[in-house]
Amino acid sequence: MNDFRRVIIIGCGGHGRVLGDIVLSQPERFELVGFVDRNTDAIGSRIFGVSVLGDDGFLTRNFTPSDVRLINGIGSVRDTTLRRKVFEMFKSLGYEFCPVISNGARLSKRSVFGEGCQIITGAVVQHGCDVGDNTIINTSASVDHDCVIGNHSHIAPGATLSGLVSVGDGTHIGSGATVIQGLRIGEGCLVAAGAVVVSDVPAGSIAMGVPARITARQVSI
């Protein structure tokens, strides 16, 4: 892994700003060069005193993978596809994504975290966990011992994974949802906000309600 501090955040919306706020609070770790965004109206504006420099083309034309590391500021509400595409596109060009870990998150040293994972303020990750690449553990989410979370997934604010839960790639666990211990949530699933999941959820399903009812995910949402 490169050891340089210079970073650019991709996306200057709600999630990008959460990350910018954390990055600016850790000057020993990061120098925030700027944001990039595809919204031309945002380009040239300043966020927390830092410029929105241009779009993704501006980034690739002006910064090589040796100049900066990237932070994926594209969040997700229900579908993590765009976030995944952005990560994979820049990876294919040789860029590296750095992890962002809030000073207010509590992480066991006996857990491992993938490239570009983001652990936001108030989140807790207990021992024995494996968190994949480009995954978000968002504000005050709780991940108990020995959970395995795949790549490009999002554990939204206040969600709870009890011990020994597994979550597949590209799955969204909604705000305040609870998954009881030992369950397997497949890849590409949506667990709706506030759901209480008490049985395994097959890949490509939606789990909604208390206790959660499981249905096939018919369309990309």
Q: Which spans of this chain sit near ligand JB2 (rule: CB under 6 A)? A: 10-16, 36-39, 42, 56, 74-77, 82, 86
Dihedrals φ, ψ of 92, to 5°?
Answer: -65, -20
Which residue lies nearer to ligand JB2 by CB, 92 or 109? 92
64 burial via Cβ count (<10 Å: 0-12, 13-18, 19+): exposed
Q: How far is the CB of 101 from ligand JB2 (least distance, A)?
A: 16
Place of tokens 């700003």: 17
Beta-bridge partners for 194: none
Distance of alpha carbon 129 from alpha carbon 57, whole angstroms:
36
The shares of helix, strand and coil residues in the chain, as percent rounded to the nearest 5, are 15, 30, 55
Closer CB to ligand JB2, 13 or 114, in the complex = 13
Q: From the CB of 27, what's the least distance to ligand JB2, in Å?
A: 23
Q: Strand 130-131 and strand 69-72: pairing?
A: unpaired
Cross-strand pairs, 215: 206
Give 200's strand partners.
none
Smallest gap from Cβ 9 to ligand JB2, in A, equals: 9
Residue nearest to ligand JB2 (CB): 13
Q: Please, what is the minimum distance in Å from the beta carbon of residue 181 to ligand JB2?
A: 26
Residue 189 burial (10 A CB sphere; 0-12, 13-18, 19+): buried
Q: Please, which residue, 160 or 175, has the CB nearer to ligand JB2?
A: 175
CB 120 → ligand JB2: shortest distance, Å? 9
Contact 137, 125 (CB under 8 A): yes
The residue written with tokens 């949506």 in the block is 190
For the bound state, the minimum distance from the C-beta of residue 75 to ligand JB2, rounded and expressed in Å, comes to 2
- Residue placing its CB nearer to ligand JB2 in the complex, 8 or 214: 8
Q: For residues 11 and 168, which CB has a smaller minimum distance to ligand JB2 in the complex?
A: 11
Nearer to ligand JB2, 75 or 188 (CB): 75
In the complex, minimum distance from the CB of residue 12 to ligand JB2, in angstroms, rounded to a whole number? 5
Q: Which two tokens stand for residue 21?
A: 């706020």
